[in-house]
Structure 1
Amino acid sequence: MTITTRTIEYPADGLTMKGHLALPAGDGRRPAVLLGPEGTGLSDVERGRADALAELGYVALAFDLHGGRYLADPEEMLARCMPLLADPGRMRAMGHAALDVLRAEPRTDPERIAAVGYGTGGAIALELGRDGADLRAIGTINALTTGRPGEAARIRCPVWAGVGSEDPIMPYAQRDAFAAEMQAAGVDWRLVVYGGALHAFHHPTVDHTVRPGIGYHPRHARRAWRDVVDLLAECVPVHWSLSR
């Protein structure tokens, strides 16, 4: 299937963000996916996933975190992302800025949007849900973040989350807290634990020598991607849009 792509600039967090928009073939409206990157920022990995979603028939926007920069230095990345992750309002503003861009795209069916994110991008997707955003599904990997008390009850869609069993950044206590929050809020939620996987196991370019506890797991990366695609097929199926 022939797709088209382009860079979309938009303001957020005091920066000019540079998102990657991928459009499926045709000219009709399609369900859409907002795609959030790891804390290092938008890379060819997320751009490739947006392209893959477009090949499946989705409008996909991989959003930016750092004004077009990729923060390969761990210390620089943490210096920017840790304050961001501690500020739900800031995360929500960044998420809504990208979501508004996706909704404004003429090919997007505004009633059929899902948010999928990795790491910091996944935390932003969850905060959109806690803010009551009109989403049909939320999927996250390495982002079992919890929100302010009671706000998870505003999530209006199923939530799927994936995590590596050996992820030191998302340990058992964090998993339990996330599960307790979702359950108490009455959310339709699922948590998949990928045995033996570290943090950022889905990201081919990561290297555990850069930071302990981080590493790529090819088999589980493929499985996690299939799980994400299955979530989208269940909650925002392309065939539904095509048959309207």
Structure 2
Amino acid sequence: MTTVTTRTVTYPADGLTMVGHLALPAGADRRPAVLIGPEGMGLSDVERRRADALAELGYVALAFDLHGGRYRGDPAEMLDRCMPLLANPGRMRGIGRAALDVLRAEPRTDPDRIAAIGYGTGGAIVLELGRDGVDLRAIGTVNALTTGRPGEAARIRCPVWAGVGSEDPIMPAGQRDAFAAEMQAAGVDWRLVVYGGALHAFHHPPVDHPVVPGVGYHPRHAQRAWRDIVGLLAECLPVRE
């Protein structure tokens, strides 16, 4: 098994001190890198393990923070923080760019070969990085079919992959259609995978606290969505040994 090195990184963003999780593959050479955005609850061991798994595959990976080192397990508290954030593209871009700066500054990172993936709120943030014209090799999102300000999707310069559950009440069919129309009108190389029978956050293992309605784990589709994201990275950001 490849030796992975991990460490905590702190950095300022959105008026907070963010606490991210950086995972490095074995070796000392520069590698392609992946930014990972968490669900609205915030950075947890789920995203940390994903960063570690990507480092096992040879990527430098940074799972970024949303809430200044806090995990917002209370649904009302999470929504109070996330809903204004999701309504403010500038704030989302600021959080994403701050994390991206940390990732680019890592000596192991090839700064010209970076992708971004995200889930829920973290997925909305990485999409906003694309709409802001950030140079990324790929964008992958789950549960984040957010649309942006008119015309800004034309700034996206890389393939976009999006996954969503067919029974997700937070990202229903109308939202799927709006996202697809935005991507298509902007000429983006986009894909949308609808996982049959899955709810919102279907990729996230069960948690020991209340969740918003419409959330549910689907183990089989969770594995499929992860394979699809790894496939996106293999296509757009291959690791060169």
TM, length-normalised to structure 2: 0.98
In structure 1, what is the Cα distance between the partners aligned to 2:206 and 2:9? Answer: 24
Name the structure 1 match of 2:85. 84
* Aligned counterparts, 1:104-143, within 5 A: 104-143=105-144
Task: Tell me the equivalent position of 1:6.
Answer: 7
Which residue in 2 is equivalent to 1:211? 212
Post-superposition Cα deviations, 1:86-108, rounded to whole Å, max 9, x if no partner, equal: 00000001100000000000000
Note the C-alpha offset of 1:231.
Answer: 0.2
Which residue matches 1:148? Answer: 149
- Once the two structures are superposed, residues 55-92 of structure 1 have per-residue CA deviations (whole angstroms, 9 ceiling, x without a partner) of 00000000000000000000000000000000000000
Task: Specify the SS of the correspondent of 2:154.
Answer: helix
Matches within 5 A, 1:1-244: 1-206=2-207, 210-239=211-240, 242=241
In structure 2, C-alpha distance between the alignment counterparts of 1:207 and 1:131, rounded to whole Å: 36
C-alpha displacement at 1:203, in angstroms? 0.3
Q: Which secondary structure does the structure 1 equivalent of 2:8 belong to?
A: strand
Q: Which amino acid aligns with 1:102?
A: L
What do residues 157-209 of structure 1 show as CA deviations (whole Å, max 9, x unaligned)? 00000000000000011000000000000000000000000000000034796
Quickly say closer, same or farther: Cα 1:60–1:173, change in 2 above 3 A: same
TM-superposition CA deviations, 1:37-67 (whole Å, max 9, x none): 0000000000000000000000000000000
- Residue 212 (structure 1) shift: 2.0
Gaps of 5+ in 2: none
In percent, how many aligned pairs have the same letter? 85
23-32 vs 200-209, greater mean Cα deviation: 200-209
1:84-141 Cα distance to aligned partner (Å, 9 max, x none): 0000000001100000000000000001000000000000000000000010000000
Note closer, same or farther for the CA distance 1:106–1:52 as it changes in structure 2 (3 Å cut): same
Amino acid at match of 1:202: H
Asked if structure 1 preserves the Cα contact closer than 8 Å seen for 2:29 and 2:108, the reply is yes
Match of 2:140, as an amino acid? G
User: Can you give the 5+ residue segments of structure 1 that lack an aligned partner in the other structure?
Assistant: none
How many residue pairs match? The answer is 240
The code of the aligned residue for 1:89 comes to G
Q: CA–CA distance in 1 between the matches of 2:196 and 2:213?
A: 17
Contact 1:32 1:60 in 2 (8 A): yes
Distance, in Å, in 1 between the alignment partners of 2:206 and 2:86 is 23
